Structure 1
Amino acid sequence: MGKNKITGPRFEMREKKRRANTVLNTLIVVVIVLIICITWSVFFATGGSKDTAKPTKPAEQPKVSESVEKEPAKEEEEKKEETKTEEKAEPVNGKVMVTDITDPNVVEAYTNPSWKPVGTEQSEPHVTKFDSKSADWKEMLQVAAYATELTVSDIFAQRISNGGGANKVNAVIGTKDRKYMYRVKLEWVTNEGWMPTLVEQLK
């Protein structure tokens, strides 16, 4: 005779317990898998965002732009200063303006690289004469007029005096309309005559 199939309340209890254990084990596996998936996604997502955030530092961006903006401004200021310096030293109509004036009676002063001796009828050795009727006096007035871009007929000699050496004089002249007064420094060039070296416009 074959074995009889086991039935009864005890058998049913065992079956139910077995099914419950199976379901429970399945749920535990599902929960573990979910935990692993969530942990993996959170870990790698956070790590990725940190990695991408590291290279860019927003706080440093303005500093770079500020330095870039400051450099052209600084260069512009330097160019303006250079332009001002060049304007002071640049000849105007051949004149080179003198900037280091210490005499309070001088309005402006200038020299001119193109100035040359105007020639002379006198012979060497030259001796400076302060006689208003001498040839030397007349030539000094001609050179003073030449340096101030005037003519002899436009000016009068207020005073001609020694300029600090045997071959140097200071000729103080004025325009006949009394608007301008000048002090012209002259220097004697051997066999060539008087040559202007500096013009100072006086108050």
Structure 2
Amino acid sequence: MGSRFNQRDQKRKVNKIYNIAITIVSILIVIVAITIFLSDGGTKADPTTTEPKQIADKDKGKVDKPAGKVEEKEADEDLKAKEESEEGATEDEEASDEAGDAELVEVEGSGDGNVEATYTSEGWKPVGTEQSGEHTASFQKGSVDWNEMSKAIALGAGIDEGSMKLWWLQNGGSPNTAIGTVSAGDNPKTYRVHIEWVDGSGWKPVKVEELKVNDKRK
């Protein structure tokens, strides 16, 4: 009897231990399953939250890069235009300074009844030239020689070339002389400027006549 009781008691203890072990294992399985489920849920949630950001960042990169190039190109063009404007302003100032530095001296006129006063100056210098070789005067508008004559005429008249209105340009009676009739825009004051060619140096003003009436106005 005692032996059987002990065997039953031991069997109950073993069964109890098995039951406890099974319960613990079951609990661990449940815990692991919950942990895996929650972990999978968090992993799946990440792409949905990060993918739009990645796409947005990618799209932003595509948009910003060309825009940056456009802005850089516009900045370069603005800088170039500014430099050209400053260069042109500097040239105008230099021409104006040259005209201002030239002390005008009134001289006897040619007897033309339309001439109010005649001036000359030792301060006038040739305006320079891009031409080389033997010079031949050209009265074709827009030619290199025409443009250089216009610059010399503006210098003699003391008018900014950009605002000067050239009414007439003609030969001055010899191959290397010319005469231009000009005014400052719509200003009625008109000047007849005589210029001559200096080999290797370009045209230079030699005499300016202030006219009473613009005889070249059409």
Name segments (4+ residues, structure 1) moved above 6 Å: none
Question: Given that residues 124 and 190 in structure 1 are in contact (C-alpha distance below 8 angstroms), is that contact kept between their aligned partners in structure 2?
Answer: no
Which residue is 2:113 aligned to?
104
Pair 1:139 & 2:148 matched: yes
Structure label with greater radius of gyration: 1
Give, in angstroms, the shift of residue 178 of structure 1.
Answer: 3.0
Structure 1's 100 and 185: CA in aligned 2 closer, same or farther, altered over 3 A? closer
Give the AA of the match of 1:147. Answer: G
Q: Give the match for residue 125 of structure 1.
A: 134
Partner of 2:202: 193
Trace 1:147-186 onto structure 2 (pairs within 5 A): 147-186=156-195
Q: Does 1:114 pair with 2:123? A: yes
Instruction: Render the CA deviation track for 1:16-68: whole Å, top value 9, x for unaligned.
Output: xxxxxxxxxxxxxxxxxxxxxxxxxxxxxxxxxxxxxxxxxxxxxxxxxxxxx
| Unaligned ranges ≥5, structure 2 | 1-100, 213-218
Aligned position for 2:5? none
Q: TM-score, normalized by length of structure 2?
A: 0.49
Name the CA distance, whole Å, in 2 between partners of 1:93 and 1:190.
21
Q: Identity of aligned pairs, percent?
A: 38
RMSD value, Cα? 1.6
Change beyond 3 A, Cα 1:100–1:169: closer
- Aligned residue pairs, count: 112
Contact 2:109 2:117 (8 Å CA) reproduced: no
Distance 1:93 1:141, change over 3 A: closer
SS of 2:108's equivalent in the other structure is coil
Q: Distance in 2 between matches of 1:163 and 1:150?
A: 21
Structure 1: gaps (5+ residues): 1-91
